[in-house]
Structure 1
Amino acid sequence: MNTNTQWNFTQKILFRFFFVYFMISIAPWTWISNLPFEWVQDVNKPWQWIEDQLVQFANKNIFRVYKELVPINGSGDTSWAWTHLWFFSLLSFLVAMVWTVSDRNKTSYPKWNYLLVTIVRYHVAMVSFGYGIIKLFALQMWFPSMSQLATPLGEYLPMRFSWMFIGYSTPYQVFSGAAEVFVGLLLFNRKTTTAGALVGLAVFTNVMAMNLCYDIPVKLFSTHLVIMCLFLVVQEHKRITAFFLLNREAAAGTIYQVSLPKKWQRITRYVLKGLFVVLVMILPFYNAYDQYQSAKNPSDQKPFRSGIYDVADFVLNKDTIPAVVGDSTRWTNMILHPGTTGSMISSDTLFRKAYGRSYFGYFIDTTKQQVTFRWGGKNSDSLFTMRYSIPDSSTITLRGPVKGDTLFVRLKRTNKQYRLAEKQFHWLSEYNR
């Protein structure tokens, strides 16, 4: 929207709608949670409570689509998120209509528009830095683990398949992260905001397409980012059209320029911008680097060696159980990852299931020569504890009570290798691989 001329009726209606909707969906007052203090999390709780109450009310009394709303969790496309979209879109429309009637003589909103585009561009920049920085250290998508490599391809859902596709190539993930960080840097500077919006539109349209095409449950969030980039692009559509399509001289942009005649105003701008740099760029970069250092090359838990193990013997209450497909008690193909996690093939409901395998955490006490199997991390629920012995470098024996039964397991380490883990690259390829 051109702030130097009178806006037409459509421009004013759209501005009022997006002003309300973006303010609610971005909620810039919640940015305080970026401060590295525990108490700031409590500051946002009143808004979170109000937001949830409104969404719950809308579901029960207006839309009546879902019996019970599932809050946002690992998925951003839950029933709560969709109801949130419907309700606040409706609310924004109604407020825009009331605003139009009550302020019908207003010709334009240049100052309010400056506030809105500033909040939108900083929000998109924050998201760009947040996701881009962790990709720079290849921390968002991990290289497929041995358990994932051992899982038949057909067992995977599209999201996990796409996650491993990106995680397989560290250079590609770093490249995509650099593109997102570049968007944030461009949006951070007023003079390059238009370029940032255009690059961001390309980057996040690709992200949105992946989310839609691979059923990744961040569809709403990524679509919002695309709409926000479009909103910034439309702000200067005449300049963009003149330069890129009509081969004409484009006038200097004025939409992000604001006069700050007083010294305290200029100082405040620099202080806030410096705070933004620290909280959204420097601290996330430092935290990601620290996480990268911690996650790099996890070591084995002595005396166990990570790798793939055949379950050579599985003795339940003195009865040797053969490896029969579909047996609910037999363990097969146990994999111990470097660190504290592992998986196996078993239909025993005691374990955490994912993509046809049973996952667990394992923690070794060398003093007592015991290994404790847990649901996941060290603080998760304990499943059972067994005594272990290491007869030779490739054998582990486990014995102890499991669900009231006495179990003896002998594991034999194999030399199985997966070609995908070799990370092959060829400049010269004489045939199609």
Structure 2
Amino acid sequence: MYQTVWPGNQQWPLWQRLLFRFLFVYFILMIEPWNLFSSIPGVGYVLNFYTQFVDWLVNSANTHLFKTYKQLVQPNGSGDTSWAYTQLKLYLLLALFICLLWTAIDRKREHYNRLAYWLRIVLRYFLIFNCLGYGFAKVFLQQMPFPSLSQLATPLGDFLPMRLSWMFMGYSDTYQFFSGLMEVVAGLFLFFRRTSTFGTLLAAGIFANVFMMNISYDIPVKLYSLHLLLAAVLLLLFDYKRILHFFFSNRNADSSYLYDVRFPKKWMRIGRIVLKLFVLATGLVMPLVQGLFPGEPPAASSPIPAGLYDVPLFIVNNDTVPLTVSDTIRWRDVVFEKNGRGSVNTTDTIFRQMYRRGYFSTKADSAKQTLAFSKNNWAFQTFDLFTLHYEIPDSNKIILKGKIRNDSVFAVLTKSKRHFQLAERQFHWLSEYNR
């Protein structure tokens, strides 16, 4: 049954009002619910001014208030940059200041049931969008790819914990699909008022696991996953009595009334339906369509056969460079991936160095028989490295020659016979012994 008043107790204790004011301001600042409408034409342009203002505010706080970092690094592939931590400190400080000011101005108010209702809506849809977004990315196997040939050729001990966890998830399509499906299910249950408590419990368990993985494997999304977990926990606190009765006291749980609000005006009721349909389209339909029809153009075919190649001969300036452990320039093996990327087993800093391998991208010109090498940095900027002429005498050999820096280079690459058991995706119902 719908109520004509905002759900909640009519008399809040002082500590509850203080805590609510602080949490309300903090989560609204951190979640930025207005970004929900950024897909509407023109809205993103207006919100860009707000983004620029926040960036200026964070940088100014670092320069004049906290004085912690010499220069802030914007969030990139990592969400735990110096900029993100400065924003966290600034928002905590702003939430505390606004909370105290709010308390001084509005100290006689007995409850915040109306604002609590809207905060629950914001938290719910914050969780819904992330459950569906991350969930569909895993369901369609787009978040964690299967370990590449370059990664398979890298010794396990050279990987950082984050990359190890990413390959662990990407190795199994079944497990990645299952974990994504659970996130999608949680998002769907959160979408409906009658099942929102169950969806919140699912989301809390999911994001608790995600947060623990992030801090245990040093995955750089710690702050964001923590906020997802805290949002789920806060939603559960609004419903804690029913949860305690059902799970711990062996008592009947009353029906939830947290979202039972009848809007008095017709335009409000219509607006609520339109908003829900908009959220359904942007949070569910769009990720589903993008997953089913990614729309990515097929990778251009390359005359260089993909695979792992040994480098038995490497000549620099007419001098044969022997295969020694201490040499930092010589290539030991080369990987050409199917997507035009690859890596070389060398510590030469001309390449992008990761896990004791140099990573690159290639673009072949079949007419000139040249192979242009480039690299991307952490800011996804592309830099040209060098161009080599190639010859392919047979299916197992590639000859590269040209200049790297100012040195003349001649390299013979032969198809490696190395075998990676991990690439076989083994599975056995019957296992007579541990492998």
Task: Tell me the TM-score normalised to structure 1 length.
Answer: 0.94
- Alignment partner, residue 266 of structure 1: 269
Are 1:232 and 2:235 matched, yes or no?
Answer: yes
How far apart are the structure 2 equivalents of 1:364 and 1:372?
6
Secondary structure of the 1:24 match is helix
Which residue identity lines up with residue 404 of structure 1 in the other structure? N
Secondary structure of the 1:374 match is strand
State the Cα deviation string for residues 51-80 of structure 1 (Å, max 9, x = none).
222222322333222222222122111122
- Alignment partner, residue 48 of structure 2: 45
How far apart are the structure 2 equivalents of 1:104 and 1:376?
55
Which residue identity lines up with residue 390 of structure 1 in the other structure? I
Secondary structure of the 1:142 match is coil
- Alignment partner, residue 427 of structure 1: 429
Which residue identity lines up with residue 169 of structure 2 in the other structure? I
- Alignment partner, residue 303 of structure 1: 303
Secondary structure of the 2:68 match is coil
Computed over aligned residues only, the root mean square deviation of the Cα atoms, in angstroms, reads 2.0
Which residue identity lines up with residue 340 of structure 1 in the other structure? G
Which stretch of the first structure deviates more once superposed, 185-194 or 59-68?
59-68
- Alignment partner, residue 162 of structure 1: 165
- Alignment partner, residue 361 of structure 1: 361
Decide whether aligned partners of structure 1 residues 251 and 82 sit closer, same or farther in structure 2, where only a CA change above 3 A counts.
Answer: same
- Alignment partner, residue 141 of structure 1: 144
Secondary structure of the 1:432 match is coil
Are 1:33 and 2:45 matched, yes or no?
Answer: no
How far apart are the structure 2 equivalents of 1:208 and 1:134?
18
Decide whether aligned partners of structure 1 residues 374 and 392 sit closer, same or farther in structure 2, where only a CA change above 3 A counts.
Answer: same
How many angstroms does 1:329 deviate by? 2.6
Decide whether aligned partners of structure 1 residues 42 and 405 sit closer, same or farther in structure 2, where only a CA change above 3 A counts.
Answer: same
How many angstroms does 1:409 deviate by? 1.4
- Alignment partner, residue 185 of structure 1: 188
Which of 236, 242, 246 aligns to 2:245? It is 242
Within 5 Å, which residues of 2 pair with 1:40-79? 40-79=43-82
- Preserved contact between residue 242 and residue 250 of structure 1 (Cα < 8 Å): yes
Within 5 Å, which residues of 2 pair with 1:253-332? 253-291=256-294, 294=296, 301-332=301-332
How far apart are the structure 2 equivalents of 1:142 and 1:300?
20
How many angstroms does 1:299 deviate by? 6.8
- Alignment partner, residue 132 of structure 1: 135
How many angstroms does 1:403 deviate by? 1.5
Which residue identity lines up with residue 253 of structure 1 in the other structure? S
How many angstroms does 1:190 deviate by? 1.3
Which of 86, 104, 107 aligns to 2:110? It is 107
- Alignment partner, residue 387 of structure 2: 385
Decide whether aligned partners of structure 1 residues 379 and 255 sit closer, same or farther in structure 2, where only a CA change above 3 A counts.
Answer: closer
Which stretch of the first structure deviates more once superposed, 170-179 or 302-311?
302-311
- Preserved contact between residue 341 and residue 376 of structure 1 (Cα < 8 Å): no
Secondary structure of the 2:335 match is strand
Which residue identity lines up with residue 57 of structure 1 in the other structure? S
Which residue identity lines up with residue 77 of structure 2 in the other structure? G
- Alignment partner, residue 408 of structure 1: 410
Which residue identity lines up with residue 383 of structure 2 in the other structure? D
How many angstroms does 1:347 deviate by? 2.1
Decide whether aligned partners of structure 1 residues 249 and 106 sit closer, same or farther in structure 2, where only a CA change above 3 A counts.
Answer: same
- Preserved contact between residue 200 and residue 236 of structure 2 (Cα < 8 Å): yes
- Preserved contact between residue 239 and residue 250 of structure 1 (Cα < 8 Å): yes
- Preserved contact between residue 370 and residue 387 of structure 1 (Cα < 8 Å): yes
How many angstroms does 1:163 deviate by? 0.7
Which stretch of the first structure deviates more once superposed, 175-184 or 89-98?
89-98
Count of paired positions: 428
How many angstroms does 1:155 deviate by? 0.8
How far apart are the structure 2 equivalents of 1:105 and 1:329?
73
- Preserved contact between residue 201 and residue 232 of structure 2 (Cα < 8 Å): yes
Secondary structure of the 2:382 match is coil
How far apart are the structure 1 equivalents of 2:368 and 2:317?
23
Which stretch of the first structure deviates more once superposed, 96-105 or 202-211?
96-105
How far apart are the structure 1 equivalents of 2:80 and 2:209?
18
Are 1:417 and 2:419 matched, yes or no?
Answer: yes
Gaps of 5+ in 2: 1-5
Are 1:22 and 2:27 matched, yes or no?
Answer: yes
Which residue identity lines up with residue 166 of structure 2 in the other structure? W
Are 1:122 and 2:130 matched, yes or no?
Answer: no
How far apart are the structure 2 equivalents of 1:364 and 1:78?
36
Are 1:207 and 2:213 matched, yes or no?
Answer: no
How many angstroms does 1:308 deviate by? 0.9
Decide whether aligned partners of structure 1 residues 299 and 90 sit closer, same or farther in structure 2, where only a CA change above 3 A counts.
Answer: closer
How far apart are the structure 2 equivalents of 1:152 and 1:319?
29
How far apart are the structure 2 equivalents of 1:344 and 1:67?
34
How far apart are the structure 1 equivalents of 2:244 and 2:64?
45
- Alignment partner, residue 92 of structure 2: 89
Which residue identity lines up with residue 46 of structure 2 in the other structure? V
How far apart are the structure 1 equivalents of 2:70 and 2:370?
47
How far apart are the structure 2 equivalents of 1:316 and 1:301?
30
Are 1:349 and 2:349 matched, yes or no?
Answer: yes
Decide whether aligned partners of structure 1 residues 52 and 376 sit closer, same or farther in structure 2, where only a CA change above 3 A counts.
Answer: closer
How many angstroms does 1:133 deviate by? 0.8
How many angstroms does 1:2 deviate by? 6.6
- Alignment partner, residue 195 of structure 1: 198
How many angstroms does 1:300 deviate by? 8.2
Q: Percent identity?
A: 44
How far apart are the structure 2 equivalents of 1:412 and 1:326?
23
Decide whether aligned partners of structure 1 residues 326 and 44 sit closer, same or farther in structure 2, where only a CA change above 3 A counts.
Answer: farther
Secondary structure of the 1:400 match is strand
Are 1:7 and 2:12 matched, yes or no?
Answer: yes
How far apart are the structure 2 equivalents of 1:278 and 1:24?
25
How many angstroms does 1:33 deviate by? 2.3
